[in-house]
Amino acid sequence: MHNILSVQQNSFGGNAVIWIFVFALLCMVLFFIVKMIDTAYVIKHKKPFFVHLYPFLRKLEKHQKTILTQKFRFYNRLTAKQRRYFEHRVASFIKDKDFIGRGGCIVTEEMKVLISATAVMLTFGFRDFYIGLISKIVIYPERFYSKTNEKYHKGEFNPKLETLVLSWEDFEQGFDVENDNLNLGIHEFTHAIHLNSIKERDISSTIFSDSFQELASMLSSQDDLRDRLVSSKYFRKYAFTNQFEFLAVAIENFIETPQDFKSEFPEVYGKVKQMLNFNISGY
**What is the CA 206 to chain-centroid distance, rounded?**
13
What is the predicted pLDDT for the residue at 45?
66
What is the predicted pLDDT for the residue at 83?
97
What is the predicted pLDDT for the residue at 2?
55
User: Mean per-residue pLDDT for 140-158?
Assistant: 92
pTM to 2 decimal places: 0.88
Q: What is the pLDDT of residues 180-236, one digit of tens each?
A: 999 999 999 999 999 999 999 889 999 999 999 999 999 999 999 999 999 998 999
Q: What is the pLDDT of residues 43-85, one digit of tens each?
A: 666 788 889 999 999 999 999 999 999 999 999 999 999 999 9
Contacts of residue 194, Cβ cutoff 8 Å, sequence gap at least 6: 208, 212, 244, 247, 248
In the chain, where are the structural domains located?
A: 1-45, 48-283
What does the angle CA 86 – CA 84 – CA 276 come to, to the nearest 5 degrees? 30
Percent helix, strand, coil in the chain, to 5, is: 65, 10, 30
Q: What is the pLDDT of residues 12-43, one digit of tens each?
A: 556 666 767 566 666 666 555 656 666 666 66
| CATH fold of 48-283 | Cyclin A; domain 1 (1.10.472)
Q: How many CB atoms lie within 10 A of CB 137?
A: 24
- Across all residues in the chain, what is the average pLDDT? 90
How many C-alpha atoms does 167 have within 13 Å on its Cβ side? 16
